[in-house]
Amino acid sequence: MAVDTVVHASAALGMGTAANRAAGSGLGLGIAAAVSFALSARAVKTRARSEPAPAVLVRLGNRDGFYALLGSFAALLVLAPAGLPALLLVAALGSHAYWLGHLWHRVEKFIRAVVGEAVAAPADGEASERRMR
């Protein structure tokens, strides 16, 4: 996992550098994407194996999106370099959303454990009473 993280973060930095040269901006977005790639890997690595992630995070946590990013970057570099910063923005926002989703899942689970399921989600009787009002 560590090698993958270094490769993905390095690729993000390289894309940021290339975007900056081709379009005049994008280095900061490349750095933001690299940081979020590392945080995403950390979120997955530190998740307890006995605790499954939400299905949406499992579906997003594959390499398909990264390969699509690389392909799109190469195409934009040749066809429309001015669009590179926007692509890096999407990559940075998406990968930050991914690790934040993992964090939210943990925080929510912690709150339910500490506060209790009854407070986090109303009991069936309470929900029925609210619907009747």
Position 44 scores a pLDDT of 87
Position 133 scores a pLDDT of 52
pLDDT in tens, 2-47: 898 999 999 999 999 999 999 999 999 999 999 999 999 998 888 8
* 3-class DSSP string for the chain: CHHHHHHHHHHHHHHHHHHHHHHCCCHHHHHHHHHHHHHHHHHHHCCCCCCCCCHHHHHHCCCHHHHHHHHHHHHHHHHCHHHHHHHHHHHHHHHHHHHHHHHHHHHHHHHHHHHCHHHHCCCHHHHHHHHHC
